[in-house]
Structure 1
Amino acid sequence: MKTCPRCDSSLDDEARYCVECGAPQTEDAADELDEYVQRQAQQVAAESEGGAAADDDDGGSGFVPTENLTDREQLWRRGCYVLGYGTIVVALTFVPRPGAFPLILGGIAILPPIRRLTAEPLGSPLKREVMVGLYAAFALLGAALLLAL
């Protein structure tokens, strides 16, 4: 019986991979794993290149690395984060009041990851204009409730 050099767990003599940590135990297994990882990396790269052109901000496929975005898209994304988290923080200071909850929802709606999360059930991500509209509606409703009550 041999042991894994990575995690020191007991292995069968014929084991190609460790049952505990998954480390390859033979040169053939290491080469096979390396080829698999290379194929997966190429597939992910091909999918992200094809999906990045589908939408202005972060594509229909999900995550697009920041270095693939234009300066304008990066500025838009940063602004959405600042506006969203800023609105949430301000709304949290008013939590007992009823106007705080629409403000929190508005802050959440403008955050860029929400577009990716809505893409799954809707079939495609919501456009920027829709997200800004949701933010504006919730923010106006929350501000009106804060002033009225």
Structure 2
Amino acid sequence: MPSCPRCDAPVGEEARYCAQCGAPQTEDAAEELDEYVQRQAEQVAGSGGGGSGGTESSASDAFPSTEDLTDREQLWRRGSYVLGYGTIVVALTRVPAAESWPLLLGGIAILPPIRRLTAEPLGSPLKREVMAGIYAVFALIGIALFVLL
């Protein structure tokens, strides 16, 4: 009886996949798996991480790939990640304190993926300026609580 090349589990003569680890056992099965993975990757990339059939083209238009962004847009995106994650880290160091929660919400609000997540329920993505305004409000509340408390 042959064994799986990945996990050495016994597999049947006619098995296309290993019952233990799921590794393909034939060239046809490997090609089928590659095609399936490619289709799934294209579907995820085309739909912006999920969504229903009609929103796939609008999601890819609203969120262009990194290569399609101008230098200014790439700088904005990178800055948003740095500012958002930096604020989240600062907030997590102060978790028991009251000022940590607005800072945490502000850090999450400025992250670029939040625009993508809010686009579907709102009908369109929020503008970057709106996200920066939400961040500023939460950050100011957090700083005010830090000073007052």
Fold shared, TM-score > 0.5 on shorter chain: yes
8 Å CA contact 2:46–2:60 kept in 1: the answer is no
Matched, 1:106 2:128: no
Structure 1-normalised TM-score? 0.71
Deviation at 1:8, TM superposition (A): 0.9
Match of 1:9 in 2: 9
Q: Residues 37 and 92 of structure 1: is their aligned pair in 2 closer, same or farther, counting only changes over 3 Å? A: closer
Q: Residues 38 and 103 of structure 1: is their aligned pair in 2 closer, same or farther, counting only changes over 3 Å? A: closer
Match of 1:118 in 2: 118
Letter in 2 for 1:107: G
Q: Which runs of 5+ in 2 are unaligned?
A: 49-55
Identity level (%): 72
Match of 1:22 in 2: 22
Match of 1:72 in 2: 72
**Where does structure 1 differ by over 6 angstroms across 4 or more consecutive aligned residues?**
none
- What CA distance in whole angstroms lies between the structure 2 residues aligned with 1:87 and 1:43? 33
Match of 1:52 in 2: 60
Q: Residues 127 and 34 of structure 1: is their aligned pair in 2 closer, same or farther, counting only changes over 3 Å? A: same
Match of 2:52 in 1: none
Q: Which runs of 5+ in 1 are unaligned?
A: none
Q: What is the aligned-residue RMSD (CA, Å)?
A: 3.0
Q: Residues 32 and 106 of structure 1: is their aligned pair in 2 closer, same or farther, counting only changes over 3 Å? A: closer
